[in-house]
Every structure is written in structure tokens, then in C-alpha cells.
Amino acid sequence: MKLIKKNPILNTLSRTIIDLPAPSNITNIWNFGSLLGICLGIQLIRGIFLAIHYSSDVSLAFNCISHIIRDVDAGWFIRITHANGASLFFIAIYLHLGRNLYFNSFSLSRTWIVGVAIFLISIITAFLGYVLPWGQISFWGATVITNLLSAIPYLGQLLVEWVWGGFSVNNATLRRFFSLHYLIPFVICLLVIIHLIFLHEEKSSNPLGIQSSSDKIPFQPYFTMKDLLSLILFLFLFILINIQLPFLLIDPENFLPANPIRTPVHIQPEWYFLFAYAILRSVPNKLGGVIALAISIVILFPLVFSKINIQLNKIKPIHISFWPFIVVFLFLTWLGIKPVEHPYIEVGGIITCLYFSWFIFLIA
């Protein structure tokens, strides 16, 4: 304790974390923020160990993954938990976002904007990491997604070749993706710190929607115990999946090395991108699909201008429409794994309209 008092940095951390006044009525669904921080830290550590044995060369990348799994001590566990850890991270981030939407936490404008920025950058980071194993889906997923830039008028093809570092997805592309995938998580860590600073300034929301409540208690030990309980539960389920069903969330096609002359029958992203992928496919125009894809994430930013006031909104109409929105989101995720054919295209267009209508209802 003396060390904490003498060190200004530790003293600040103590005041903002250990002694942070928090609403006494917040429940376990407020634990996903701290769980996300722990997931991010674990992903960073595992990623560093994987990077030691990885080579960002198209002739070696796929074999490097096999080498890590087969030859490196505990390499199979590090590799599998890192791959599945991305799924755990996005499960937590979707639950965290869902809770914030349900309780109108977007009224904390600065905290919300930084949080959505973290979500957006996390999506980019996960996509870059998905390319690194250099399997069939990795290669063709990179080809399809980067080709979306060609829809931009006039500069599209130039941007695609600039991202590729050539005229196709090649060695330069893989090296760039590996470098960015390694560096961007540190940017996310910086944004997380800013996110926490704004959260402490604007104060946390609570189930009653009253930010100015004087009924507050210290974060330690009351909420650290709740966070610890959630962490133990999530880690138990996560380790169980990694031991019993380690390849459940990995596409079988990605166990084949990248082959530029053989296209997989069905190219699809990871499950946490499927809703956006379904929106992209539901628009018949390529440029329109790319714009709809971008807006499906960016539309979270304007929620800070919503007329719904967390302090004055006693009826909370967002609660009524929240669950139908969840159904729409899950429906889009399901459509993302379906082939691009009738009737999925038409149904996707209808569900996409419902998805955007919900946000327009909140903002208007």
C-alpha cells in the first residue's frame, strides 16, 4: 500500500479501479467489459508466442502452422486457443454491445464512440489474422474482401493493387497483413485505456438508467468478485471447447494449403462476420453492397445523437424493439452461411432493411 501511495501512476490506478464508485445495482451482465480486457490481454500474449514461430512467406506460412501444432511444446494449445479466442472475444463484445444498446448506454457519447471504434478495429484485426494460416479460405477470403475496394469509383483498382502489393494476393500481401495484425492490437490497448478514462468521467450506466444516483459502492471487492466469477465460468467453457471440439469453429477448407487455381465451393467469413456478409450479398449492386457493409458497422456511431434519453426515458421503448432486433441479427448470421441463390437473396434484402430500420428508429 505504501508503494501505491508513493507512485503517482499506481495511485491513479488505485483511485480509478480499486476505489472507483460504482452503482450498487449493476448485475453480472456488466462484467463483459472486464472480460473483454482479459481476453485482449490473453490474445496478445498468445499472439506473441505464435509470432516467434511464424513466417510470413507464402511458401512457408501453412507449414509454419503445422510446425507450431506438431512440433512446438504446447504449440497446439496456443494455436487452437488463439484461433478460438477470437470467437470468445467477439462473443463477449457482442454481449457487451447488446447490453449497452438495451440500457441506452450510447448516451455516454465519448465512451460509446471510442467503444465502437474498438469494435471496428477489432473486426479489421480479426480479418487480418484469419488470412495468416494461408489455407484455402484464408487466401480466397483475402481475395474476395480486398476486391471489394475495386467497387470505389476511379480509384478502386489502384487501391486493390496497393493493398495487395502487386496484381494478386501474394507474398507482399501476407507480410503486410502479418505486420498489421501484430501491431494493431497495441492500438486497441491504447483505445481501451481511453475508453476506461471516459467511462470513469461519464460514470457507468445501471439497470435503472439513473446516472446521477448516489447509491454507489467501491469497485473492490464487490465487483471484482463478480468479474472473477464470470471469468472462471467463461474460461471453463472455453477450455472445454478447446479440448473437446478444438476445430468446431474452423472451416474444413482451411486445412488445405492455399491454391490460387482452385476456388472453394463456398467462400464465407468467420461466424462473427456473417451478418455483415449477408448484408453485403443482399444488395445486387457491388458498390451498394460495399456501402451497406460499411454502414452496418458505422451506423453505431450516430446513436449518440439519439433522442432517447437514458435519464428521462422511463418507459424505455428500446426494450420493446431490442429482442426483434436480436432475431434480425441472428437471421442475418444464418443467411450468411447460405448459398447466394433464391430465396436467400430476397429474404436477405428484407432482413437487411429491417436491420437498418431499427437504427433509423433509434436515431430519428
Among residues 53, 67, 200, 338, the one annotated as catalytic is 200
CA 326 to CA 110: how far, in whole Å? 25
Among residues 34, 56, 122, 227, the one annotated as catalytic is 227
Q: Is 204 exposed, middle or buried (0-12, 13-18, 19+ CB in 10 A)?
A: buried
CA 326 to CA 99: how far, in whole Å? 12
Active site residue 73: no
Half-sphere exposure for 303 (CA within 13 Å, toward CB): 31
CA 335 to CA 339: how far, in whole Å? 8
Closest CA relative to residue 184, chosen from 269, 111, 271, 126: 126
DSSP state of 231: H
Cβ atoms of 283 and 340 closer than 8 Å: no
- The bridge status of strand 21-23 relative to strand 216-218 is antiparallel
Bridge-partner residues for 21, per DSSP?
A: 218
Among residues 107, 204, 282, 296, the one annotated as catalytic is 204
Among residues 96, 253, 270, 282, the one annotated as catalytic is 270
Amino acid (1-letter code) at residue 160: V
Bridge-partner residues for 23, per DSSP?
A: 216
Among residues 67, 226, 316, 338, the one annotated as catalytic is 226
CA 187 to CA 192: how far, in whole Å? 9
Active site residue 57: no
CA 119 to CA 33: how far, in whole Å? 12
Active site residue 270: yes
Known catalytic residues are 200, 204, 226-227, 270
